[in-house]
Amino acid sequence: MKRQPEPANETSIITTTEISTPLGPMLAGATAKGVCILEFINRIRLEKEIIDLQKLLNAVMQPGENQHLAQLKDELAEYFDGKRKVFSVPLHAPGNEFAQTVWQTLQKIPYGQTCSYKQQADQMNNPKAIRAIASTNGRNRLAIIIPCHRVIGSDGSMTGYAAGVEKKKWLLKFERNNSEKPADTLF
């Protein structure tokens, strides 16, 4: 089931800003409904991702601020201070039913822990969909908030990460160092 774009007669606004992080600048964008994009500026295919998002939401991007971006900035600062483990900022993540399920499953991976694509597929009761799940993880537009960086290969290898494997390693090490639970526990 493919997600339909927003009604064509109404153009939405995606308010955007740049947020500095210890790993470099991130592009953040939010509609009136919630944060719809948070990506490292150096993410591969970022321009295509932005174009696709604008089409899905029938939206244009414009620099500025809104309440969701203000909340996101506060929550990201808390995250990088090691104080925030779960985000509560409203999200506006358009996608079909399968994508929504994949992204919800990602949000269940506890802070400081990892899982494999196979484990994610098993968690979704869809063990044959490993490749589709991996592909959908790669289309996640909300880095860190929807923690696709917590998914690794079945052999423990660092699999691809659109912003670079070094950022993925950094995030995993950072979360392990700020976690109360042992890092070897998988979800």
pLDDT tens column, 36-46 = 999 999 888 89
How far apart are the C-alpha atoms of 147 and 109, rounded to whole Å?
A: 8
Domain boundaries, the chain: 12-80, 97-177
Position with higher pLDDT, 3 vs 141: 141
| Candidate list 109, 148, 151, 171, residue with the active-site label | 148
How far apart are the C-alpha atoms of 33 and 35, rounded to whole Å?
A: 7
For 67-180, list the strands marked E by DSSP.
115-116, 151-152
How far apart are the C-alpha atoms of 151 and 45, rounded to whole Å?
A: 20
| Topology adopted by domain 12-80 | Double Stranded RNA Binding Domain (3.30.160)
How far apart are the C-alpha atoms of 148 and 115, rounded to whole Å?
A: 10
How far apart are the C-alpha atoms of 69 and 50, rounded to whole Å?
A: 17
Judge whether 148 counts as a catalytic residue.
Answer: yes
For the whole model, what pTM was predicted?
A: 0.89
What is the per-residue pLDDT across 95-116, written as a single tens digit (0 to 9) for each? 999 999 999 999 999 999 999 9
The CATH number of 97-177 is 1.10.10.10
